[in-house]
Amino acid sequence: MTREERREANRRRIFEAAWQTVERDGAASVTIRQVATDVGYSAPVVYQHFANKEALLGEVMREGYAHLHAHLDAAAAASGPAGAIYAIGRAYLGFAERNPHLYRLMNGLAGVTLDPGARHAAAGPVIAVTNGAIEAWARATGVPLPDMALACDLVWGVVHGMTGLGQLDDIGFDRARLLADQALHALTLSWATKE
């Protein structure tokens, strides 16, 4: 193994230790000292790879968005164009249900301050696949949507809001998925009947 390969392997071990802590205990539980202990390094070794806790958690956030993108892309591809928006909604809620701490980190809800510009950049592919699902629906239904950014924000708002409801014990994700389907149906119906 070359020196560069060793360095990359060490960086990956540090990243994976932070990822596991986020998944298990939440982003606020991640400390450089604990990550170093988890991988058997000293804190200065961790700092050779990540400038600080925020840089490490920023990497976890970016990887989380890559996973969410893959999940949404697969859901959209498996549905027909007319069902792509609904498939995206269900997949988004499913991701948040399975990865609650990661979801909170990705959306600025974890009590950790990360750069909003970096968050938006990491979400870019997720926004693109959502736009693609909306465009596929519009083509399949023959409904013109003059403002795709607004349409995407509306879909994003619905699924993000329903995810918040799903995280409440007295509502839960089963009901949130039902509500999301109904809200997305109402939204697409309003687009289809707008004069």
CATH of the domain at 4: 1.10.10.60
With b for 16 or more beta-carbon neighbours within 10 A and e for fewer, the 31-45 pattern comes to ebebbbebbebeeee
Q: Are residues 86 and 116 in the same domain?
A: yes
Q: What is the pTM assigned to this prediction? A: 0.93
Mean pLDDT value of segment 38-60: 94
Mean pLDDT value of segment 61-65: 97
Residue 113 has what pLDDT? 86
Number of domains forming the structure of the chain: 2
pLDDT of 154 > 90? The answer is yes
pLDDT of 159 > 90? The answer is yes
Residue 155 has what pLDDT? 96
pLDDT of 195 > 70? The answer is no
Q: Are residues 72 and 165 in the same domain?
A: yes
Q: Are 89 and 159 in contact (CB under 8 A)?
A: yes
Q: Are residues 13 and 104 in the same domain?
A: no
Rounded to whole angstroms, the Cα distance separating 22 from 117 reads: 21
Domain that holds residue 156: 58-193
Place of tokens 């083509």: 139
Q: Are residues 7 and 67 in the same domain?
A: no
Residue 1 has what pLDDT? 83
pLDDT of 185 > 60? The answer is yes
Q: Are residues 121 and 170 in the same domain?
A: yes
Residue 105 has what pLDDT? 96
Q: Which structure tokens are listed for 16?
A: 């994976």
Q: Which structure tokens are listed for 30?
A: 């991640």
- Distances in Å between the Cα of 26 and the Cα atoms of 22, 29, 60, 105, 109 are 4, 6, 12, 8, 10
Rounded to whole angstroms, the Cα distance separating 154 from 165 reads: 17
Mean pLDDT value of segment 117-136: 95
Q: Are residues 46 and 103 in the same domain?
A: no
Residue 194 has what pLDDT? 75
